[in-house]
Structure 1
């Protein structure tokens, strides 16, 4: 018997935890602080977008196994914020045998969309969701907050990074990997016990790759005007020669690959390439759309003219 009915895989409803209430950058609190969020017109400090990525990992591992951790790419556009106490469920298409790309999405318990995404296996996976979104970007009319940035601008220097189990990840991420693992929605022995993994080393969870990649982001010294509050609007994490390991030294190089504008935001899209400690072997990449809120910059109207 044959049907054309599309089938999906989904995980259980989870309540992701907010761990960025004490986040600080450029001398002020972030949108994840309840008071700051309310000043900007939001109900409460939202949970950081990549927190939701963890809910997809068991689904994608069920489809692609070890290959997902070594060559997987998750490319997401964030649609609606989630605050602590709300429940979220992850979905992916059930792929045809041999397929290397699926559609993915997350919803709140009431069906409100949280994010849309593509999940794929490289290197021959074609355009991701964010490739498609970037291709549709229009030239910004006039940038104020980002007026000193340009496409092709590179970070000031190579940035050495690592993530040890009990290492506090700084003002941007005021917690350690072990503290995250106490609250992560989908835990695994692979994040703690090297003997449990195929690589005989514990691996960094997908959502914590974002933390590793942003840990030294201020060292890139991109000249974004301050004070300003931003949020993640789009994010893609790709394993090239993965996974990334706990306690391993890496080197990050950054480049601005797009600039864009909406009614409320100015955005700079940064591709962060994560190399081994020698700087010769590319291990992973992250593409991140930093959306800065125009009304959070006190001089916006004056400088916009």
Structure 2
């Protein structure tokens, strides 16, 4: 007997931890600070979106094993913020036998959607969720905060990066990998024990790839007007020749690949490419929609009216 009923893998309810309450950028606190979040009309400082990615890794590893860490792509649109104390569950729809693409999503305990995503295994991913979303973007009507940005603009220089176990990851990420692993929702010895890792070195967790990729982002020098508060609206992490390894040197190159606008935000989409230390071999990519809140920029209305 056969059915067309879609079935899904389901993880346990978890309470992700807030680790960005002390985050700073451009000289001010971020939306993850409770006071700043409340000033902007939010209930409390939200947990950063990629924190939820960890809950999907056991499900995707169940589907595709070690290959997921080496060639996987997780492409996510964030739908609703989560604050510390709320519970979240991850789901991955079971793909057909041999298929290398699956629909994924996360919900709060009461069913409120947290994110929607596509998960795929390369090298032939097909259009990811964010590639599909970008294809539907309309040109922005009038940018104010991002008026000086252009599609095709590249970062000012190549950025060397690495992540050691006890390395403090700076003002953007005021913690270390070791501290994250003490609070991560889904711990694996592959993240900390070289002898347990199939690659002979600990692998950087999926959610911490975002930290590595953004660690040196101020060096890119993209001319975003300040003071303004931003958040992650869409994010994709794609392994080309993964995983990325703890204690390994990498080189980052950035490019703005799209600009967009909504009622409340102006957005710049940045593709961050992570190469080996020589800059010759592409290891991974991140696509990130930085959505900047219009009402967080004090001169927004005046500058828009005077443009």
TM-score by length of 2: 0.99
Q: Which residue in the other structure is 1:47 paired with?
A: 47
Q: Deviations over 1:169-218 (max 9, x none)?
A: 00000000000000000000000011111111100000000000000000
Distance in 2 (CA, whole Å) between partners of 1:125 and 1:12 is 27
Residue 123 of structure 1 and its aligned partner are, at CA, apart by 1.4
Distance in 2 (CA, whole Å) between partners of 1:265 and 1:192 is 38
Q: Which residue in the other structure is 2:116 paired with?
A: 116
Residue 125 of structure 1 and its aligned partner are, at CA, apart by 1.3
Distance in 1 (CA, whole Å) between partners of 2:175 and 2:257 is 30
Q: Which residue in the other structure is 1:151 paired with?
A: 151
Q: Secondary structure at the match of 1:196?
A: coil
Q: Which residue in the other structure is 1:249 paired with?
A: 249
Q: Secondary structure at the match of 1:44?
A: coil
Distance in 1 (CA, whole Å) between partners of 2:3 and 2:234 is 35
Distance in 2 (CA, whole Å) between partners of 1:104 and 1:194 is 30
Q: Which residue in the other structure is 1:299 paired with?
A: 299
Q: Which residue in the other structure is 2:221 paired with?
A: 221
Q: Secondary structure at the match of 2:32?
A: coil
Distance in 2 (CA, whole Å) between partners of 1:246 and 1:201 is 7
Q: Secondary structure at the match of 1:203?
A: coil
Q: Secondary structure at the match of 2:167?
A: coil
Q: Which residue in the other structure is 2:3 paired with?
A: 3
Residue 293 of structure 1 and its aligned partner are, at CA, apart by 0.2
Residue 262 of structure 1 and its aligned partner are, at CA, apart by 0.3
Q: Secondary structure at the match of 1:114?
A: strand
Q: Which residue in the other structure is 2:258 paired with?
A: 258
Unaligned runs of 5+ in 1: none
Q: Which residue in the other structure is 1:166 paired with?
A: 166
Residue 95 of structure 1 and its aligned partner are, at CA, apart by 1.0
Q: Secondary structure at the match of 1:107?
A: strand
Residue 246 of structure 1 and its aligned partner are, at CA, apart by 0.2
Structure 1: which 4+ aligned runs deviate by more than 3 Å? none
Distance in 1 (CA, whole Å) between partners of 2:108 and 2:281 is 39
TM-score by length of 1: 1.00
Distance in 2 (CA, whole Å) between partners of 1:136 and 1:239 is 24
Q: Secondary structure at the match of 2:255?
A: strand
Distance in 1 (CA, whole Å) between partners of 2:3 and 2:303 is 59
Q: Deviations over 1:16-69 (max 9, x none)?
A: 000000000000000000000000000000000000000000000000001100
Q: Which residue in the other structure is 2:209 paired with?
A: 209
Q: Secondary structure at the match of 1:60?
A: helix
Distance in 2 (CA, whole Å) between partners of 1:13 and 1:199 is 30
Pairing of 1:233-248 with structure 2 (within 5 A): 233-248=233-248
Pairing of 1:68-107 with structure 2 (within 5 A): 68-107=68-107
Distance in 2 (CA, whole Å) between partners of 1:154 and 1:198 is 35
Q: Say yes or no: does 1:288 pair with 2:288.
A: yes
Moved more, 273-282 or 191-200: 191-200
Aligned length: 305
Q: Which residue in the other structure is 2:37 paired with?
A: 37
Root-mean-square deviation (CA, aligned residues, Å) is 0.4
Q: Secondary structure at the match of 1:42?
A: coil
Q: Which residue in the other structure is 1:26 paired with?
A: 26
Residue 3 of structure 1 and its aligned partner are, at CA, apart by 1.6
Q: Which residue in the other structure is 2:139 paired with?
A: 139
Distance in 2 (CA, whole Å) between partners of 1:261 and 1:302 is 18
Residue 241 of structure 1 and its aligned partner are, at CA, apart by 0.2
Unaligned runs of 5+ in 2: none
